[in-house]
Amino acid sequence: MDSGSSDFSSDNSTDSDSSSSSTLSTGNSTDSSSNSTSAGNSTDSSSNSTSSSDSTSSGGLGLPSDGLKTKNGVPFGFLPDVSAQATMAEINKAVGMSPASTYGWYAQITGDSWDGSQLLSQKQDIIDSKAVFIPAVMPTVDMSAITSDVAKQVASVLKQFTDEGVEVWLRFAHEVNYYISSGTYHGNVDSYQTAWANIAEAVKDNPKIKMFWCPNWADASSLEQWFPKDASTVDIVGMDAYPQSQQSFDDVYGSFYDAFAKKNNIPFAIGETGPGKGDDSLKEYWLKQIAEVDVQDKYPLYIAGCWFEYYKGFDFRIIMDQSSSIVAESKGEFQS
């Protein structure tokens, strides 16, 4: 996430980074007891051309055909609030419609061994949800410590999910452009590129793992250096964003989409998003932008979204512990 942008405030996280920017906020990772991991493998250009309509089947990128969708037909889900011990089962019950299509979680790599316990603690809820699992694996060690051996440990943990039929989109080192500048991640562009390549190599033979490149909101030109050198290792692109004012989907994602999804013919997904400040009208406005943007003609590569369903500093949530009017307005943006 960008810690100094004019339109978005970044960093709603409770781990070691704590700065925020003025208008758009991203980086809602939780502390080491609650963050999750993810892994992904590369696909060729034909697999990266999946449209939103193709990907909503059990084929393509594994999105459930009967999962929750926004009004524009895009599969949609949530990141359950770990501090509230929320489960996707509880969120799905509160929504009372189709079950969530995506399930986000956080985890950190803090040393030269990794057992994935933060992810595995949610394993049964993830399996039962039948959603695509989008773990954000955060290397809080130096990027150079993400060796091929550590990468194999990540792949092994994720295989415990895919062996149960779970599709995994790995947001490895998400928001790298922000977290390195804030001190949560350690390293530089080169060491990050090597770490990404090691993870991609470790998971490439597992067809149910996809690599999801997901920086923090920033000008597209500044993100070029962080885009993996081998584009074939990127299955999905996205960008975390938390608008602090009423902005359109085009305002927030347009330039990124054109520079990375459209240019490379790679599917685009929202790894996490929400309002950049505690304002009920803003979160409903922003949900509407996501739910009603034109995906047929303007954003055909937009395949999925995931909402930061947390109370953290302020209330990002649109479903859990909300007034009946907020829940009704939110559900009005989903397909019945």
pLDDT at 46 (0 to 100): 35
Query: Which tokens is 333 given?
Result: 């943006």
pLDDT at 268 (0 to 100): 99
CA 308, 162, 206, 63 torsion-angle sign: negative
- The Cα–Cα gap between 85 and 81 comes to 6
pLDDT at 24 (0 to 100): 52
CATH (one of 3.40.50.1110, 3.20.20.70, 3.20.20.80, 3.30.2350.10) for 47-331: 3.20.20.80
Pairing of strands 132-139, 76-80: unpaired
Tell me the Cα Rg of the chain.
Answer: 17
> Virtual CA dihedral for 319, 320, 323, 328, nearest 10 degrees?
20
Q: What is the pLDDT along the chain (336 residues), one digit of tens a residue?
A: 332 333 344 444 433 333 333 335 444 444 433 333 333 333 333 333 333 434 333 347 999 999 999 999 999 999 999 999 999 999 999 999 999 999 999 999 999 999 999 999 999 999 999 999 999 999 999 999 999 999 999 999 999 999 999 999 999 999 999 999 999 999 999 999 999 999 999 999 999 999 999 999 999 999 999 999 999 999 999 999 999 999 999 999 999 999 999 999 999 999 999 999 888 999 999 999 999 999 999 999 999 999 999 999 899 999 999 999 999 999 999 998
- Of 164, 167, 272, 329, which is the active-site residue? 272
Give domain limits for the chain.
47-331
> Is 175 annotated in the active site?
yes
Residue position matching structure tokens 């509407």: 288
pLDDT at 16 (0 to 100): 31
- Of 164, 167, 175, 309, which is the active-site residue? 175
* C-beta separation of 139 from 173 below 8 A: yes
Q: What pTM does this model have?
A: 0.86
| Number of Cβ within a 10 Å radius of residue 112 | 12
Determine the longest span between alpha carbons in the chain, in angstroms.
50
- The Cα–Cα gap between 133 and 88 comes to 11
> Is 272 annotated in the active site?
yes
